[in-house]
Amino acid sequence: MMENKTIAFACDHGGFSLKEPILAYLKGQGWDVIDFGTWSDERCDYPQYAEPACRAVTEGKASLAVLVCGTGIGMSLAANKIRGIRAACCSEPYSAEMTRRHNDANVLCIGARVVGEGLALTILEAFLTHAFEGGRHAGRVAMLRELEDRF
């Protein structure tokens, strides 16, 4: 489905508990993972981890990114500051599917203190196995890009 099966990953200490299962899942599905940390549960600052993972997406080194923090919200706020990023914070699979199909989201954010491992992987699967539908949604995504130019 994805031409470039390379995905960026980053988490902070709040998301660290999901790192290993998410990386194992991604590798098992044939994704090459660029790991931007963090590498322990030592306290750290999520914007510093969101930025390089999102940069990999905007520079075309990865087609998508997965960001995990405690709630998923801090990561999504940071990611959505970056031109060209459309990050969705999801805690169930329907939203993860629809944000690919309708919003062409290129970053999935998950809260490790919100969802357990099983649900997180189901959300991730929904995100990775659906594609942007284009059509009427393409114009709306173009409007999102225009918003970036106006501020």
Q: Where do contacts with ligand RB5 occur on this chain (CB under 6 A)?
A: 12, 14, 46, 69-71, 73-74
Q: How many CB atoms lie within 10 A of CB 94?
A: 10
Cβ 90 vs Cβ 109: under 8 Å: yes
Query: By C-beta, is 31 or 75 nearer to ligand RB5?
Result: 75
Query: By C-beta, is 31 or 46 nearer to ligand RB5?
Result: 46
Q: Give the span between the Cα atoms of 51 and 69, in whole angstroms.
A: 13
Shortest Cβ distance from residue 41 to ligand RB5 (Å)? 11
Shortest Cβ distance from residue 69 to ligand RB5 (Å)? 3
Q: Strand 87-89 and strand 107-111: pairing?
A: parallel
Catalytic residues: 69, 102
Rounded to whole angstroms, what are the CA distances from 87 to 41, 76, 109? 24, 6, 7
Shortest Cβ distance from residue 52 to ligand RB5 (Å)? 17
Query: By C-beta, is 14 or 93 nearer to ligand RB5?
Result: 14
The helix-helix angle for 117-128 and 19-28 (nearest 10°) equals: 40
Query: By C-beta, is 13 or 86 nearer to ligand RB5?
Result: 13
Shortest Cβ distance from residue 140 to ligand RB5 (Å)? 27
Q: Give the span between the Cα atoms of 41 and 115, in whole angstroms.
A: 18
Helix (H, G, I), strand (E, B) or coil at 4: coil
